[in-house]
Chain A
């Protein structure tokens, strides 16, 4: 698969502070690539480096085959960047903002009209087209800004917290649209919503202090960071024999009981059916693995990093 972005040993220093520390990775075309990490971990700086808005102190990088430092203008014409701040012309209506942006990018009026109406209909903004941005909610302004970024049909989208302050329905509609565009679009996004990463990302990196702590698919990160699984068994009554089996079984690493529910910790490789056999079949009401959340893996990763640093 073609690679849209390649970074090699990228470092960015602001005076004595190293915001991004010797990072290397590639992003394949059509991927939704997510960057997560605590505040000050270097995420936004990394995104701005990819957008050619910040020049790296060391290292090299390519976006769509163009060198980051040698050909920034050419790169900027192929990408769509949406920063954290709302950047709209408050004197122009929403529709006029779109028209102005289209004209700046040399899109013909007929083509612009088709694109604007298509996006407005898709994102349920037809009624708001003639309003000034000033009176609109922050989440709607972000949506307008994202739509404006999409107007120019970039091949790479670099998004910093794109759905922040949006209602869930809008965020889902946006991601549905973006996923549809994947054949022609690579997306790199920063988000603080782990649910969003789980829902949309093909790959993620977890950053802290300018380093990449984890890099992989959501599934791989979950497994790598949470080597154990939790199985939940809801039973009719507490049975002493079952309790003893759980205590003595080598497959069970740990378990806890809350009312008539057992939470059993085992290795990921352990087949749940083997644990199920520890119970009397007629006593079981339900038996299922507890879903591991990416948020847990994220916290686990950061806490492991903290332990290592200490």
Chain B
């Protein structure tokens, strides 16, 4: 375990324990309320989606959304805070991390893990509320897409935290970009209902790849190889770009 892992994890756990209500419980409340109000409301209207009870249909998309928001927020605010008090600059400059890929790995793992933990909590709560009747869960297939979502949005959070100007923009990115893009990508409905042009646009969104892959695994028990390959490639590319853009940290 490198020093970055050891220090960052200790810091996050310390702060998480201290801010358990604001960081943990309140963050989990939003998806649960969404699940209850949005899910119960639509369940009453549509009943099932492709033969799957509507509440169960919502679960994979909602879990992915929770993971994405947590992973993004976690790393974005980590970097915004450290930029504000310049701590990270000094830490990097003064050579605590000669191994930059190791540092990036520690940062991404931190954000991704927080996302996964929140996602698993939401998964357990929503399964408890909705049950699993009428669906065929392939947990491995679902977990792969959970993991890829966590890494991708930790990477986006990393970039946003390092390059977003100080101010309310970060919060707006979540409200006006991440949340809507998940909705559009088929979190609560089939994208086949869109116009052909819009459907083909949405089909190639990275979030649709993740949501559709997760739905296949969780609802039908199948692994969509095309979505899996695309999601792997997208994740690798994104992490590569983040590495290139942030590798000059600490250079004189």
Q: How far is the CB of A161 from chain B (nearest CB, A)?
A: 16
Residues B86 and A104 in contact, CB atoms below 8 Å apart: no
> Given known contacts A96-B14, A99-B10, is B252 in contact with A89 (CB within 8 Å)?
no
Instruction: Indicate if B172 sits at the interface (CB-CB under 8 A).
Output: no
Residues of A within 8 A of B3 (CB): 103-106
Q: How far is the CB of A108 from chain B (nearest CB, A)?
A: 10
Within 106-128 of A, Cβ neighbours of B (below 8 Å) are at: 106
Q: Kindly report which residue of chain A lies nearest to residue B91, judged by CB atoms.
A: A104
Docked CA distance A105–B93 (Å): 13
Q: Kindly report which residue of chain B lies nearest to residue A97, judged by CB atoms.
A: B87
Residues A90 and B85 in contact, CB atoms below 8 Å apart: yes
Query: Which of the listed residues B82, B85, B89, B95 has the most CB atoms from chain A within 10 Å of its own CB?
Result: B95
Docked CA distance A99–B11 (Å): 9
Q: DSSP class of A's interface residues: helix, strand, loop or mixed?
A: loop
Instruction: Indicate if A92 sits at the interface (CB-CB under 8 A).
Output: yes
Against A, the Cβ 8 Å flags (1 = close, 0 = not) of B158-197 are 0000000000000000000000000000000000000000
Residues A91 and B93 in contact, CB atoms below 8 Å apart: no
How many residues does chain A have at the interface if contact means C-beta atoms less than 8 Å apart? 29
Docked CA distance A104–B8 (Å): 8
Instruction: Indicate if A272 sits at the interface (CB-CB under 8 A).
Output: no
Chain B interface extent, by class: 20 to 34
Residues B10 and A103 in contact, CB atoms below 8 Å apart: yes
Docked CA distance A51–B96 (Å): 14
Residues B90 and A87 in contact, CB atoms below 8 Å apart: yes
Q: How far is the CB of A296 from chain B (nearest CB, A)?
A: 37
Docked CA distance A96–B17 (Å): 13
Residues B87 and A88 in contact, CB atoms below 8 Å apart: yes
Instruction: Indicate if B94 sits at the interface (CB-CB under 8 A).
Output: yes
Residues A77 and B81 in contact, CB atoms below 8 Å apart: no
Residues B14 and A92 in contact, CB atoms below 8 Å apart: yes
Docked CA distance A92–B8 (Å): 12
Docked CA distance A76–B95 (Å): 5
Between-chain CB contacts (< 8 Å), 16 pairs: A51-B93, A51-B94, A52-B252, A55-B252, A76-B94, A77-B98, A87-B89, A87-B90, A88-B87, A89-B11, A91-B15, A92-B15, A99-B10, A100-B11, A101-B91, A104-B91
- CB within 8 Å of A: which residues of B? 3-4, 6-7, 10-11, 14-15, 81-82, 85-87, 89-91, 93-98, 252
- CB within 8 Å of B: which residues of A? 51-55, 72-73, 75-77, 79-81, 83, 85, 87-92, 96, 99-101, 103-106
